[in-house]
Chains A and B, each alone.
Chain A
Amino acid sequence: MIPSRVNGEACDRLMTLFCWGCALTLTLVLAAILGFLFFKGWHVLGPKLIFGEVRPLDALLFKKRVFSGLFPAALGTFCLICLAVGTALPLGLACGIYMAEYASNRVKSFFSLMVDILAAIPSIVVGLFGFSITVFLHHYFGGRILPCLGISGIALAFLVLPYIVKTTRIALEQIPLEIRMTGLSLGASPLQNLRHVLIPASLSDIMAGIVLAIGRCAEDTAVIMLTGVVATAGVPKSLFSPFEALPFFIYYTASEYSDPAELEAAYGAALILLAICTGLFIISFQIKRRYNSFN
């Protein structure tokens, strides 16, 4: 038996070595990507990157237009987030609640399949859908509707809807039976139980999911590319105007930059976007860890 034993030990060592190799490769690749960005971009970070030559307060109060800074793009991204999450949130919450609390098993498995399919649709296809909506509206409203902020917001809402549904559903389903039953046994109706017991009990998980959905809105480029984002639009004026956004600025500048300063701004924008997305991720993680009472 000795040869096979030696063989077994070799396999063991090989496996450990392989796993360490994979882990190190992954860490190094990540470090290279982030390190490269920091190395190239950190020195442009500062108020000038965002506000250009305009005083920050003037820009924030819309007194002066910012031409050479990221302010319009950042504001565009912010508006997109508000619109998309604002649209998807009530619908997603209600759908998640229905699936967790009311649906029969068959309805539930059908709904969850459909939500999974929605979640898997590539974001460019969601963008194409948004574009199709524009085409229809354009047709019916006599050419007044063009790709714009409102359409992008709605299309993005489709993108984040499945996230919100899923987190709401899972958060509610995790609630232990005794907590679920206490309210009901005291005579509360199902709706009262939901409102006063179940939702407060799962609020932290739901919040964590919403924060992740915000990150998804901030980073997505493909959807807005087809539904109204442009390279220079200034601050978005209304729901029906074209707009700028941070991720699109990065994409656009990477292929169309005309001088090194512009490229440096793109590095800065990439760092800012990275900070926003990882920041949101960490917030979500902390909410989940700190306030979760069940696991």
Chain B
Amino acid sequence: MDSGDRAARRLFFSAGLTCALAGLLVLGFMVVLGLPLIRSGMLWDILTGPWSPDHGQFGILAMAVGSVYIAGLSLIIAFPVSLGASLFIEVVRPRGAGRLLEWLVRLMTAIPTVIYGFVGIFLLVPLVRSFSGQGSGLCILTAALMLAVLICPTMILFFSRSIARVPRTWLDAVDAMGGTPYQKVRHIIFPAAWPGIVSGTVLAFGRAVGDTLIALMLGGNAVTLPESVLDSARTLTAHIALVIAADFDSLEFKTIFISGILLYVMTGLGILAARAAEKNL
């Protein structure tokens, strides 16, 4: 290996290290800026208390619950549809239609989230308002429905990839024994592809928790603990976007770094969980 090769290797390594540390850098910045709050001993109040800046209360529990509520509901809506659609692409495979759907799903990944939010405001919100007959239509259900559309492609592509990885010979064996497609799915595909299905679901949940625009535009942004799907709620992401305009030195402002750390930890754990599931494949 000559000196040019060695220099190039060193250069590539340092770039690699920079990329690897970039994620930690993001966390580091937030921890440093959130540190005054963590040190002040108010962390527990902030994580569990109510949000009422006028009374000196800066709890973000309602936002954390809002995030999980909206993301969870969108997952419940999107999961069956995604599973059905990925089985449609990989197992039912009607000629032409299967490929068309696959192409559409891929295309959906390119649609900006702000457009989902925009269409949501002018199309979905009035619909939800007239169906529910109460409130403004800006509520958990509206945000979750739109969010479900956003995370569907992630899940479908992940599911269909793990279904496609099931060895062809196993499926041929079922066919040879006279098994029906349903039996194939139940006894071969699900048992073999479940780790992929789990990790796809976890990643989609992370995407739903991490999305800002849809929850911000459609969720209504109330700061109280939500009780029903027709209640308005604020997510951690929307909270960051809304409080960023506050005075920098205020306690109110510092809570957004705690929100950021919380979001970081949630999505980071999601990645670890998805990887653990993949290892079982």
A: residues with CB less than 8 A from B are 8-9, 11-12, 14-16, 18-23, 25-27, 29-30, 32-33, 36-37, 40, 90-92, 94-95, 97-99, 101-103, 110-111, 113-118, 120-129, 131-133, 135-136, 158, 161-162, 165, 189-191, 194, 215, 218-222, 225-226, 247, 250-251, 254-255, 266, 270, 273-274, 277-278, 280-281, 285
Contacts and interface: CB of A to CB of B under 8 A. Distances in A.
Interface stretch (B51-59, B99-107, B223-231): B99-107
Given A15-B92, A131-B244, A189-B4, 17 more contacts: A18-B84, A20-B92, A26-B152, A27-B101, A90-B15, A94-B16, A95-B19, A116-B275, A118-B22, A125-B260, A128-B244, A135-B248, A189-B5, A218-B112, A250-B115, A270-B115, A277-B111
Given A133-B29, A250-B114, A117 B268 contact: yes
A222 B84 CA distance: 32
Interface in B1-60: 1-2, 4-5, 8-9, 11-13, 15-16, 18-26, 29-30, 32-33
Contacts of A16: 92, 181
A123 B210 contact: yes
Nearest to A109: B275
B131 to A, nearest CB: 15
B180 A273 contact: no
A219 B211 CA distance: 13
B158 interface: no
A37 B32 CA distance: 43
B12 A95 contact: yes
Query: Top 8 A-B pairs ranked by shortest CB distance?
Result: A22-B84, A122-B210, A94-B15, A219-B112, A281-B110, A98-B12, A118-B23, A98-B16
Contacts of B198: none
Interface in B139-173: 149, 152
Interface string B76-119: 00001111110110011000010001001111111111111111
Given A94-B11, A102-B9, A191-B4, A121 B19 contact: no
B182 A12 contact: yes
B206 interface: yes
A285 B62 CA distance: 42
Which secondary structure dominates chain A's binding surface? helix
20 contacts: A8-B183, A11-B180, A14-B182, A15-B92, A15-B181, A19-B87, A26-B85, A90-B15, A94-B12, A95-B15, A98-B16, A111-B19, A115-B19, A116-B275, A120-B267, A191-B8, A215-B110, A221-B113, A251-B217, A274-B112
Interface string B237-265: 10011001000100000001100100110
